[in-house]
Structure 1
Amino acid sequence: MDAVTATLAPARRATVRPMDAGDLPFVARLHRRYLPEGFFVRLGDAFLRSYYRSYLTSPASVALIGEVDGVRAGFLVGTVDHGTYARHVGRHHRAKLLAAGVWALLRRPGLARTLVAGRLAGYRATLRRARARPAAVDRPTRFGVLSHLAVEKAMRRSGLGRAMVQSYAGIALLHGTRRLRLVARAESSAARGLYLSLGWLPGEEYRDGDGVRWTPFTREL
């Protein structure tokens, strides 16, 4: 009898490293491709690059790149003290973000109608409140937010998403953070399964202003 042999694909090696400025174009592209919800995407890659740069400069944030076999395949950004991160954005990135947003609107005037509907007012109010808070409240709030996570579709069974979420939680714990939060699309069974398997607890589902359904999750560290 002839022996039957099967060739198995080699196991993929998922690794995580800190994000740097050279990764920002990749991150913007991945965000646009896999995280299309929200107004930021419609402002374009230049705005997204400016937005993600704030995670590189804040001492209260985490910015990670995931690689599979040495090739970039995903990213994660989050905070270890969300209040401090928000104040950092208000003080150090507000002007650049506004400039990038205005430039995007000049190139695509139709977007202005959406802003007039109330979104820009909300963003500006948040930034003003962040800047107005005195420095004395820059104490750790002990909660962080996993803000964005994206993995290339072809690499989603490599364990990369899990590795990045675990790395983020470990960094947050080292910073003294005791509670983490995130929101995930309610219809994404893959995201739900990932977070549940890592000890995140789901909250009550809600819809945003665009009618998208979201599920909040929390995790105690």
Structure 2
Amino acid sequence: MIQRVSNIPNPRSLVVIRQATEEDLRLMASYLIRYLPEGLFPRLGHRFVRRWMQTFLSEQYGVALVAVTNDAPRQQVGFLIGSTNQGRHVADVLHQHKQSLLLAGLSALCLRPRVLLHFLRTRARPYLRRILGRTHAPDAGTTSQPATAVITSVVVLPTVRGGGIGGLLVEEFLERAGADQASLAELVTTAGAAGAGTFYEKLGWTCVEERHSKDGTPIHAYHRSLR
């Protein structure tokens, strides 16, 4: 049934989009590492990625969604993580989870010398400045500026891509972002055929910038107005 997704005009009849749970994190972490290996976090391994993903479950502005098949057994075929207010979400995570994430990250780096060297070359200074800096209570820096929602990662299994599941995940995220009064949604994806720019453009997103990631990979930034 799963392999017939691309031939079904209404993917809602095949999958359910729901809030992720702790039990979903194992597969979510595995999918991220396998299908979105770019960047630092996937290189830190399954345990760190799972711990990082937990912050999208526990914090107010975090969003963690999964797409599961509507038949038995219910199989997880995709997920989305992001935040409906990126500034507040980052502040919450640093306030509540800075020490545990720091310990998890250091442990992962110590087990991976090559990743550690790469981290020291590309990210050490800004990461340490943020981690070692003073962390304020989440409401201490509240401003009147409109909130910006950010999609961090979207994964749909290759066997079911093209059936609209990714669009349903993004649609649910945008509804939650709008409910939290976000005025703009942002994301970045790898430039060219290796990225998902065409997918997002079909959903109404606009490419606003091309730059390079900390690893030197060309990436495109996309915006979607929520007003």
TM-score norm. by structure 2 comes to 0.86
| Equivalent residue runs for 1:102-117 within 5 Å | 102-117=106-121
2:93 & 2:140 partners in 1: Cα distance? Answer: 17
Matched-pair contact (CA < 8 Å) for 2:67–2:78:
yes
Match of 1:28 in 2: 29
Matched-pair contact (CA < 8 Å) for 1:179–1:218:
yes
Which string of whole-angstrom CA distances, capped at 9 and with x for unpartnered residues, describes residues 48-94 of structure 1? 01110111111011110012333201110111111110011111111
Matched-pair contact (CA < 8 Å) for 2:188–2:221:
yes
- 1:194 aligned onto 2:199: yes
| Residue identity opposite 2:20 in structure 1 | M
Matched-pair contact (CA < 8 Å) for 2:146–2:181:
no
- 1:144 aligned onto 2:145: no
Q: In the TM superposition, what is the alpha-carbon distance from 1:141 to its structure 2 partner?
A: 4.0
Query: Larger Rg: 1 or 2?
Result: 1
Match of 2:127 in 1: 123
TM-score norm. by structure 1 comes to 0.88
- Among candidates 203, 215, 221, match of residue 216 of structure 1: 221
Quote the RMSD (CA, aligned, Å): 2.1
**Bigger mean CA deviation after superposition, 62-71 or 50-59:** 62-71
| Residue identity opposite 1:35 in structure 2 | L
Matched-pair contact (CA < 8 Å) for 2:91–2:138:
no
Match of 2:183 in 1: 178
1:130 & 1:34 partners in 2: Cα distance? Answer: 35
1:34 & 1:189 partners in 2: Cα distance? Answer: 11
Matched-pair contact (CA < 8 Å) for 2:18–2:65:
yes
- Among candidates 148, 157, 163, match of residue 162 of structure 2: 157
Cα separation, partners in 2 of 1:189 and 1:200, compared to 1, 3 Å: farther
1:106 & 1:128 partners in 2: Cα distance? Answer: 19
Cα separation, partners in 2 of 1:120 and 1:87, compared to 1, 3 Å: same
1:118 & 1:132 partners in 2: Cα distance? Answer: 26
Cα separation, partners in 2 of 1:114 and 1:193, compared to 1, 3 Å: closer
Cα separation, partners in 2 of 1:190 and 1:42, compared to 1, 3 Å: closer
Matched-pair contact (CA < 8 Å) for 1:28–1:45:
yes
Gaps of 5+ in 2: none
1:180 & 1:134 partners in 2: Cα distance? Answer: 21
SS of structure 2 residue aligned to 1:178: strand
| Residue identity opposite 1:200 in structure 2 | W
| Residue identity opposite 2:127 in structure 1 | Y
Number of paired residues?
213
Which string of whole-angstrom CA distances, capped at 9 and with x for unpartnered residues, describes residues 169-209 of structure 1? 01111111111000111113772222112221111211223
Which string of whole-angstrom CA distances, capped at 9 and with x for unpartnered residues, describes residues 4-62 of structure 1? xxxxx584613210011111111110000111101111111111011101111110111
- 1:14 aligned onto 2:15: yes
Report % sequence identity: 28
Which string of whole-angstrom CA distances, capped at 9 and with x for unpartnered residues, describes residues 135-185 of structure 1? 332347411111111111111122110000000001111111111000111
Cα separation, partners in 2 of 1:88 and 1:114, compared to 1, 3 Å: same
SS of structure 2 residue aligned to 1:136: coil
1:108 & 1:148 partners in 2: Cα distance? Answer: 23
**Bigger mean CA deviation after superposition, 130-139 or 11-20:** 130-139
Q: In the TM superposition, what is the alpha-carbon distance from 1:128 to its structure 2 partner?
A: 4.6
